[in-house]
Every structure is written in structure tokens, then in C-alpha cells.
Structure 1
């Protein structure tokens, strides 16, 4: 299963909460999270790794970040 969360424009902790909700519902698979602050990028990265998910790639484009994560 693949899913994308667009958390651009949201203040922390909302991007983290949205991501944690999605990974809990998915159980495993691939997820892309879009954020627009360095703090959100770091916080989402830490949160998913604490839940056993892997950060596969991070791409930056004009101050926006795309986090590709997976499990399983």
C-alpha cells in the first residue's frame, strides 16, 4: 500500500500526528510525507523511526521536503 500525506502549511506537532496516524492505520507499506519546515522534517523522521519505520529518502526543493518512508 502506498499513501501520501501533504502536511505543508501545518505547524508541529500536526505533521507528526498525521504521519503517526497513517502508519498506525497502514501497518506496513510505503508512505510519502510532504512538509515545509526543517523542524517538521526532523520531527517526522524521528517519530517514524521510533515506530520501526525506515526513512528511505529525503528530498528538498525550495524549502519543501519530501520524506519517503517504508516498513515491511
Structure 2
């Protein structure tokens, strides 16, 4: 599942990620366009026992989350 959180200010990217995790998605891609969103989504995903890989893109970052 892909979540496009570009243009959203915190805590909205984390809220959108939480909604997907609550639906039991085990693999997610989250698109963010600012450092605060990248760090907050990564911190939340880690707390929820997801591994994270971040890839820098032209618009910000693509975060790959996978349930451990």
C-alpha cells in the first residue's frame, strides 16, 4: 500500500501511516516531503515493529516499511 503524505504537516503523515498499520498492512510505502515527517513516521514505524528503508527522491523521501 502506498500513502502519499507529501504536503501534509505533522502529525498527519503519522496519522495516515497509523491508519494503514491498523488495517494490518505488513508492507507500506510512505511518500513524505519534509524531514520532520520522515523522522516522525520512521520513529512511529519502528515503535510498531516495522523495519524502515528511506530512499531520497526529487520530492523528498520514499519510506519503505515492512513488518518484522
TM-score (norm 1): 0.87
Secondary structure of the structure 1 residue equivalent to 2:8: coil
Q: How does 1:1-72 map to 2 (within 5 A)?
A: 3-26=1-24, 28-55=25-52, 57-72=53-68
Q: CA deviation at 1:62?
A: 2.8
The count of aligned residue pairs is 68
> Normalising by the residue count of structure 2, what TM-score does the alignment of the two structures yield?
0.91
- More strand, by proportion: 1
Calculate the aligned-residue CA RMSD, in Å: 1.2
Which sections of structure 2, spanning at least 5 residues, go unmatched? Answer: none
Structure 1: gaps spanning 5 or more residues: none
